[in-house]
């Protein structure tokens, strides 16, 4: 496959992935949701989408609409932790998204918007572009909030087509569990325990992005409630497990508790995108490109992909040559 064909296949697969996942979370769309049984990560998906949804204005605007309804279920502490952890992100686009939400929920989102946007912008760039980097140019009705955030776009209007009800599938499990357990690290801790039990504090830290201390505190709280038990030993070596995992499964109708490290997977997609957008890409040899893909692979996938993850993703443990195909079928 030529570099250009790989690039076209890659971006088509990424856009399809975004539409599948956001449709599974409740935005209206035509795409059939295959794999809605996968547990999605709303904060990681939001960070990822802030960059890649800029290739599809309709999707970007539907995400803004979804946030108008469900932003109260987004964990801003975790969102901040993920943006600090990942290598690939579009922090200013995320800042614009946060600014739109803060108009309706300033008490929670205004500080996040300010942090992501940074100092006042003196120039603006088009928010939307195609996969070849060609910017949107016809912008007769500029959006004032976007201008404040350093972007040019036509005025955004809420179409109010998104339902306030979340689909009752495993895809929305994190958001639905937060309705019962609150916006804290409890939900991520319980999900890792359901997937990996028994496990160590570090296993939950690696998946969630929270600090070791915050996860330790949450496990102690859950232990006091009887939800979680542990083995004897020091803090670093202690193993934790759910006392009655089937009760949690039954409570939320969980069919497939296996987790995917979306943070790592999205980061890999972003880094591959940067490589494909290298100006001199056509001048690079196939061997050089393969070497760069392998370096990205070693920095992301090999360090974070657990053995019991999606079998399809296990194919990534060798190389990224078939990455677009795997993205298309996740």
Cα radius of gyration (the chain)? 20
Does the residue 226 lie in any domain?
yes
C-alpha span between 65 and 47 (Å, rounded): 16
Cβ-based burial of 250 (10 A; exposed 0-12, middle 13-18, buried ≥19): exposed
Task: Please give the pLDDT value at position 307.
Answer: 46
Does the residue 119 lie in any domain?
no
C-beta neighbour count of 314 within 10 angstroms:
13
**Full residue range of the structural domain in which residue 213 is found:** 184-243
CB distance 252 to 173 below 8 Å: yes
Does the residue 214 lie in any domain?
yes
Number of domains in the chain: 1
Does the residue 188 lie in any domain?
yes
Rounded (5°) CA angle 259-47-39: 20
What's the CATH number where 216 sits? 1.10.10.10
Task: Please give the pLDDT value at position 320.
Answer: 67
CA atoms within 13 A on the CB side of 195: 22
Does the residue 204 lie in any domain?
yes
Does the residue 79 lie in any domain?
no
C-alpha span between 62 and 49 (Å, rounded): 11
**Tokens 């929670």, located at residue:** 108
Each residue's pLDDT tens digit in the chain (330 positions)?
677 888 899 999 999 999 999 999 999 986 655 555 789 999 999 999 999 999 999 999 999 999 999 999 999 999 999 999 999 999 999 999 999 999 999 999 999 999 999 876 667 899 999 887 788 888 989 999 999 999 999 999 999 989 899 998 899 999 999 999 999 999 999 999 999 889 999 999 988 989 999 999 999 999 998 889 999 877 778 999 999 999 999 999 888 788 888 998 899 899 888 888 887 777 777 778 778 777 776 776 655 555 445 555 555 655 567 888 888 888
Does the residue 203 lie in any domain?
yes
Task: Please give the pLDDT value at position 25.
Answer: 94
Does the residue 129 lie in any domain?
no
């Amino acid at each position: 496959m030529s570099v250009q064909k790989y690039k076209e296949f890659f971006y088509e697969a990424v856009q399809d992935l975004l539409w599948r996942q956001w449709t599974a979370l409740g935005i209206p769309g035509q795409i059939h949701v295959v794999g809605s049984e996968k547990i999605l990560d709303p904060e990681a998906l939001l960070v990822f989408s802030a960059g890649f949804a800029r290739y599809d204005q309709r999707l970007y605007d539907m995400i803004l609409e979804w946030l108008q309804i469900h932003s109260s279920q987004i964990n801003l502490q975790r969102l901040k932790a993920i943006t600090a952890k990942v290598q690939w992100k579009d922090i200013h686009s995320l800042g614009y998204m946060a600014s739109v939400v803060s108009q309706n929920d300033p008490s929670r989102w205004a500080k996040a918007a300010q942090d992501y946007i940074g100092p006042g912008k003196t120039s603006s760039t088009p928010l939307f572009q195609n996969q070849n980097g060609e910017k949107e140019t016809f912008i007769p009705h500029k959006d004032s909030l976007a201008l404040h955030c350093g972007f040019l776009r036509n005025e955004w209007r809420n179409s109010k087509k998104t339902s306030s009800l979340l689909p009752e599938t495993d895809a929305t499990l994190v958001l639905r569990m937060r309705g019962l357990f609150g916006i804290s690290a409890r939900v991520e801790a319980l999900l890792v325990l359901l997937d990996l039990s028994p496990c160590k504090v570090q296993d939950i830290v690696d998946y969630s992005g929270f600090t070791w201390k915050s996860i330790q505190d949450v496990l102690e709280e859950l232990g006091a409630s009887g939800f979680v038990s542990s083995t004897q030993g020091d803090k670093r070596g202690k193993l934790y497990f759910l006392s009655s995992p089937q009760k949690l499964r039954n409570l939320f109708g969980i069919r497939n508790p296996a987790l995917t490290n979306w943070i790592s997977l999205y980061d890999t997609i972003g880094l591959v995108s940067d490589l494909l957008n290298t100006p001199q890409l056509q001048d690079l040899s196939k061997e050089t490109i393969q070497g760069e893909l392998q370096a990205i692979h070693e920095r992301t996938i090999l360090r974070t992909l657990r053995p019991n993850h999606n079998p399809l993703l296990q194919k990534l443990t060798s190389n990224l040559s078939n990455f677009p195909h795997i993205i298309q079928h996740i």
